[in-house]
Structure 1
Amino acid sequence: MDSEHLARLLRARVRRIFKAAATKQELQSWRVSPKTVAKVLVDAGLGEVIVLLEMSTLASDARIDMLLVGSHPECGELSVVVVENKQWSRLHVIRGTRRVVHPGSRPEGSQHPVEQVWDYCRTLQHHLPMLHRRFHGLVNLHQAPSGEVAKLIPPACELRSEVDLARMRIFGEAPDARREMGEFLACILSGENAAHQHRLIDQAHVRPSEALMLAAQEAVRGRALFTLLDEQRAAVDRVFQTVEEGFTEDNKQVFIITGGPGTGKSVLALELLGMLSAVGSATVHASGSNAFARTLREHVKGRRGGVDSIFTYFHQHRRRTRNHLNVLICDEAHRLRKDSNLRYDAVEDRSDTPQIQELIDAARVPVFLLDPRQVVRRDEVGTPEEIRRVALEMGIAEGNIHSIELSLQFRQHLCPEYVSWLEDLLGYEEATPRPWEPSEGFHLLRADNPQQMEDYLRLQIALNRTARITAGYCWRWTKEAQPGGRLADDIRIDGWKHPWNADKPISKNNIPGKDMWATDPHGFEQVGCIYTAQSLDWDYTGVIMGPDYTWRGNHWLAAKNQDPAAGGPDRHQLVRNIYRVLATRGKYGAILYSTDPGTRALLAELGVPPVTQARAALQEQHQDLAEAVARTDDHSNPTQGELF
């Protein structure tokens, strides 16, 4: 097969199987890189080894360039080699990091290829227990001279301590390097029974290994956010009991757990994941939010390697065979879509199968956790009614569909009435706005301009509290960075201007990407939207209400904004849900500002205190703290004993 034919074939299969469009870089790699590995295999007498191209990592959308499958020459057992092809001819490692800059890379560079291969190997091992430690990895730098390759090898470049260098290799373009690559492969791989070994992998039951389940249990339950109480504990125990009692393929049990903002849905999901992992029940967490999944991965990262692969996205389960998992925890299920088709799918590759059906199919016990008033796009279908309807259409008995409602408030636990006041303000259930009764437990404030809001939140940050400013999607969003890595100040209100959160991180200026905006301290310098704020929280939140939701004397008016996904006949409901989500991100306080004078007047009439009044008291706290720190500094020469 010639190189161009191979590239066309791979492009078609990647589109059909992974629902992805091949990039120019991938097409060029397919034309050049595989044949360089094939030549080494043939020259080393390994022509019978099975070569798999663009294999799934089994836990994410990432793909492995090449997987070499055969038998170990000494024991005859399964042996695989993960190959990462790089067309780099020159490179350098950024000082103080393991990031590699190369032609075509972004300024922040790419992940070190050895660490990339190691992550692929570990992920395969975690989801194909049959591999155990029967794997190796290599980086094929087939265009790099020896001097460039040396920059990536310790001690010239330090790697993560968990990487097993005995199993990893890097080879460049030099003839000696190609010969050494063949010798390395011949020591760990043979073509004997390669077809049989390939069938074992192809037919294997893809699921988290027992070791990964144990690691998940230790990582998740080892970092409890708070102790579950009453109804949260009852919900977890009910699902756990169902799993312990056993179930059959034809006796699926579907759980629909609903609750408003801050009722502990996500922590309940983590507790359930930890408990089920502890008993070895194959359980995976799924969500529809990049920012949320990334935050959860960061939450458990560092405890045990590879645990973060248990946190997946809804659309990744479209190819699972029926009942591959015991339990699939679908968190933030209000973000479920009608189907799992991606925008770049070809017409012939699209599927009419509902995403809800795919998720129910994937596990014997699917668990959906959601807040129906957090549906914020017209293509989202995550409601209890829709999940129940699909389950019934799939033939699941009514008695096997369990509904649980959560009401205890954790996020605004010091003022649980805030959420109901906010819902009345926004017009849910045809309610009318009612006066706000100031609470010691929750600081609700109004601002006359966004600068007042920003000044107040900066004081809170100075007092070691977390804060973010969010806004309705009423201003255009320039995703491309400006010269010097600066973000465009798209949000302009009178003399105040700020950028939206960045689409991708800009390390040069300490600007986090959209997935980490809510948790990176530098995120305060940008304004977040519904897609970066939903599912997350901080101590104090500032909300800019734009012209898409304004008070008109005795009713709310929902107008078109910059987000086409929030339009259509359900615009009023979707925009209202967006502001409900944004205004409930703060645990201890919220500051509301509207660009509309009539809406600002409404907040004043309802007795919401002005932020200027609260700022004066906060400045006193800040001054007291500064004086206390100064006094400490004046007498700070402690002995070793005083430190303890």
Structure 2
Amino acid sequence: MIVYDGLKSEFLKSCESDSIAIEIEENILSKLGRHTPKSEFRSWENSLNYMYKVLNDNEIPNDVGIAIEFNIPQTSKRVDFIISGFDSSNEPNMVIVELKQWEGLKALDGVDALVETYTGGAVRKVVHPSYQAWSYAQLILDYNASVQDRRVKLHPCACLHNYIRHDNDPLDSKQYKDYLDEAPAFTKGHASDLRKFIKKSIIYGDKKEVLYLVDHGKIRPSKSLQNAIASMLKGNREFIMIDEQKVAYEEILRLSLQCQKDYKKRTVIVTGGPGTGKSVIAVNLLAELTARDQMVQYVSKNSAPRQVYLKKLKGIMRKSSVDNMFKGSGTYTETGLNVAHTLLVDEAHRLNEKSGMFHNRGENQIKEIIHSSFCSVFFIDESQRVTMDDIGSVEEIEKWAKEEESELFYLELQSQFRCNGSDGYLAWLDDVLDIRETANYDLEGIDYDIRVFDSPVEMWDTVNEKNKLANRARVLAGYCWEWLKSEQNNTNYHDIKIGDFEMSWNLGSGEPFAVSETSINEVGCIHTSQGLEFDYVGVIIGDDMRYENGKVVTDFTRRAKTDQSLKGIKKLYKENPELAKRRADEIIKNTYRTLLTRGMKGCYIYCTDKNMEEYLKKRLETCNDRKNYTAN
């Protein structure tokens, strides 16, 4: 959908009469039903007056098409400005312009396509404008049948009209070269360069014909996108499905394809514990359904799983249209009914009610995901809800599926592929942590390397040795140590200090914690490890979980002040102390249960509370005594 469209002559006239921003505001109200904030209105006035200066050139035909705020179908993304026309060979062309008000930015090393700039009232990490323009063009190319069939050529660029460029400018840092080559960035004082860029591909006017084609194009993944993701999965052993995973995959595939045929809504709830292959199934479905001409996306609340699986698929590739297939759970606040064929929601227990940085957007993420797709698939483990904001539950999904008139289906992954083929370790943990009583008082018959260490240094040394085998061992910790934002990229600043043991929380820049070669020298938290797995993990249990008077107790007051997972617990405690204690107890125990199940082959533990250490050792001694007795 296009909020504003017209010919160049009409656009110039509206700019000259100072009515262009008013026209867009009125169109947004009538087409989208929302009012425009003053800041957005001012940004239109500033940016569009600059585009008036750029387009006020006789060599750019008066009948070229102009589109402002083009909503890319099946997404909530909007392209700021488009110029359409024909090139010298009378082939359809579109110039895509990403407009920015920025006056400066900071380049970020070690992360792909991210910069830091002042926007939205604060300094934030955002994507480089050239990457943004390129990714929007790629999204249109990958999913718009008219663009594919009519071979519409897309030319993305960025325009930072308030930005004064200098020699060796961070905007042009070498890590952004691939994206700048695809989508050049034009800055203040370079309107003539942007004008030349437009005139290379727009020679003749199209009277909005190309805009109409694109706006009414059917949704269909391109062959190049299908081939790209298929080739990434081919031969990638990490995504091979076994046994029950394959059964679940085939059933979800059948249901999704049925939605594609009869246009009825279906919601699939897939329950399964840690390591049961939920993510493996999701990634395989992503590839297969794309090959079946569906628009399908992998969705998660946490960015860590998306980053890691994308990295594993792409390998050394930096630039791929597959990037657009991995989305955050807050993406669907403004998308329409059934805009996607299938949405695959991993870690669904982590979904929130509201979206956005300030939790003020949308109504409910579960509702919005079901509303936005014909087939919604939720992979969920209710025992992994680890923050006050986590609302993902089977009951909540059922409620919204019924409201959206979506038929419900249930699948369960029972086999435990982590912990060497047994779910006995999980049951043992539940018993040990007083989460629930189980029959697994010991670890009889479970071939799993679990140890409790007296020293964090000794534990780290053991994890480090294991990591040398395949870079698949990490140290994790409960959130009991402050995380200083000012030092987030300083590996020499040690947030976690226990006697002579000092380490940093995982750094804010660089590759994802789960795959980076340097992560062994950092400590991961629940937010960078949940949904992922390693061969071995070392877990530091902090003072928020102790052993007192014969019981495992939790204490939310020992959590770091910078921990957002228990945000609001103090207020709740004043209003309802018992409820607050129950919520905090569940979150803290679920957090450690999740951390303690990240290792497939082994888990090494250090406790800051000596009573907790002795308790765990005794439980393990009981296991060893039972094994020795059975052997004799």
| Superposition TM-score, scaled by structure 1 size | 0.76
CA spacing shift, 1:147–1:417, aligned 2, 3 Å? closer
From 193, 196, 215, the equivalent of 2:228 is: 215
**Pairing 1:169-568 to 2, within 5 Å after superposition:** 178-179=191-192, 181-189=194-202, 192-195=205-208, 197-205=210-218, 208-245=221-258, 251-301=264-314, 305-340=320-355, 342-343=357-358, 345=360, 350-352=361-363, 354-396=364-406, 400-414=407-421, 416-431=423-438, 434-437=441-444, 441-481=447-487, 485-486=490-491, 488-502=493-507, 504-505=508-509, 512=510, 516-560=512-556, 561-562=559-560, 563=563, 565-566=565-566, 567=569, 568=580
Letter in 2 for 1:366: S
Q: What is the CA distance between 1:147 and its match in structure 2?
A: 9.0
Percent of paired sites with the same residue: 27
Q: What is the CA distance between 1:565 and its match in structure 2?
A: 3.2
Task: Supply the distance in 2 between the matched residues of 1:262 and 1:357 (Cα, whole angstroms).
Answer: 27
Q: After superposing the two structures, state which structure 1 stretch, 571-580 or 52-61, moved more.
A: 52-61
Q: After superposing the two structures, state which structure 1 stretch, 187-196 or 540-549, moved more.
A: 187-196
Task: Supply the distance in 2 between the matched residues of 1:357 and 1:607 (Cα, whole angstroms).
Answer: 44
CA spacing shift, 1:152–1:524, aligned 2, 3 Å? closer
CA spacing shift, 1:255–1:203, aligned 2, 3 Å? same
Q: Give deviations 1:529-556, integer Å, cap 9, x for gaps.
A: 1111101122211111122222223322
SS of the equivalent of 1:565 reads: coil
Q: Which residue of 2 aligns with 1:631?
A: none
Q: What is the CA distance between 1:313 and its match in structure 2?
A: 1.5
Letter in 1 for 2:458: Q
**Pairing 1:71-110 to 2, within 5 Å after superposition:** 71-72=85-86, 74=88, 78-84=92-98
Q: Give deviations 1:334-387, integer Å, cap 9, x for gaps.
A: 112224354163xxxx443x3212111222221111111111122212122221
CA spacing shift, 1:201–1:326, aligned 2, 3 Å? same
Q: What is the CA distance between 1:288 and its match in structure 2?
A: 1.1
From 55, 65, 72, the equivalent of 1:41 is: 55
SS of the equivalent of 2:84 reads: strand
Task: Supply the distance in 1 between the matched residues of 2:401 and 2:109 (Cα, whole angstroms).
Answer: 54
Q: Which residue of 2 aligns with 1:617?
A: none
Q: Which residue of 1 aligns with 2:615?
A: 602
Task: Supply the distance in 2 between the matched residues of 1:500 and 1:200 (Cα, whole angstroms).
Answer: 50
Task: Supply the distance in 1 between the matched residues of 2:597 and 2:279 (Cα, whole angstroms).
Answer: 15
CA spacing shift, 1:199–1:149, aligned 2, 3 Å? farther
Task: Supply the distance in 1 between the matched residues of 2:564 and 2:106 (Cα, whole angstroms).
Answer: 43
Q: What is the CA distance between 1:470 and its match in structure 2?
A: 1.3
Q: Give ranges in structure 1 of 5+ residues lacking alignment.
A: 506-511, 611-644
Q: Which residue of 1 aligns with 2:577?
A: none
From 598, 601, 604, the equivalent of 1:585 is: 598
Task: Supply the distance in 2 between the matched residues of 1:110 and 1:263 (Cα, whole angstroms).
Answer: 34
SS of the equivalent of 1:356 reads: helix
Q: After superposing the two structures, state which structure 1 stretch, 186-195 or 253-262, moved more.
A: 186-195
Q: Which residue of 1 aligns with 2:576?
A: none
Q: What is the CA distance between 1:421 and its match in structure 2?
A: 1.5
Q: After superposing the two structures, state which structure 1 stretch, 209-218 or 44-53, moved more.
A: 44-53
Contact 1:205–1:324 under 8 Å retained in 2: no
Letter in 2 for 1:81: V
SS of the equivalent of 1:590 reads: strand
Q: Give deviations 1:117-138, integer Å, cap 9, x for gaps.
A: 4344223312333233421134
Task: Supply the distance in 2 between the matched residues of 1:377 and 1:96 (Cα, whole angstroms).
Answer: 29
Q: After superposing the two structures, state which structure 1 stretch, 269-278 or 189-198, moved more.
A: 189-198
Q: Give deviations 1:404-448, integer Å, cap 9, x for gaps.
A: 111222222255432222122122333488344585x42101012
CA spacing shift, 1:11–1:433, aligned 2, 3 Å? farther
| Superposition TM-score, scaled by structure 2 size | 0.77
SS of the equivalent of 2:518 reads: helix
Task: Supply the distance in 2 between the matched residues of 1:3 and 1:604 (Cα, whole angstroms).
Answer: 79
Task: Supply the distance in 1 between the matched residues of 2:175 and 2:208 (Cα, whole angstroms).
Answer: 38
From 125, 132, 145, the equivalent of 2:141 is: 125
CA spacing shift, 1:138–1:539, aligned 2, 3 Å? same
Contact 1:263–1:411 under 8 Å retained in 2: yes
Q: Give ranges in structure 2 of 5+ residues lacking alignment.
A: 1-14, 120-124, 570-579, 624-632
Task: Supply the distance in 2 between the matched residues of 1:10 and 1:324 (Cα, whole angstroms).
Answer: 24
Q: Which residue of 1 aligns with 2:587?
A: 574
CA spacing shift, 1:97–1:409, aligned 2, 3 Å? closer
Contact 1:541–1:590 under 8 Å retained in 2: yes
Letter in 1 for 2:140: L
Contact 2:268–2:378 under 8 Å retained in 1: yes
Q: What is the CA distance between 1:574 and its match in structure 2?
A: 1.5
CA spacing shift, 1:93–1:433, aligned 2, 3 Å? closer
Contact 1:70–1:190 under 8 Å retained in 2: no
Task: Supply the distance in 1 between the matched residues of 2:403 and 2:19 (Cα, whole angstroms).
Answer: 44
SS of the equivalent of 1:480 reads: helix
Task: Supply the distance in 1 between the matched residues of 2:498 and 2:430 (Cα, whole angstroms).
Answer: 26
Contact 1:330–1:369 under 8 Å retained in 2: yes
Contact 2:266–2:376 under 8 Å retained in 1: yes
Q: What is the CA distance between 1:591 and its match in structure 2?
A: 0.8
Number of aligned residue pairs: 583
Contact 1:213–1:277 under 8 Å retained in 2: yes
Letter in 1 for 2:448: F
Q: Give deviations 1:162-183, integer Å, cap 9, x for gaps.
A: x796x76566667xx6556435
Q: Give deviations 1:588-622, integer Å, cap 9, x for gaps.
A: 11111221122111112112599xxxxxxxxxxxx
SS of the equivalent of 1:327 reads: strand
The structure carrying a bigger strand percent of its residues is 2
Task: Supply the distance in 2 between the matched residues of 1:475 and 1:180 (Cα, whole angstroms).
Answer: 51
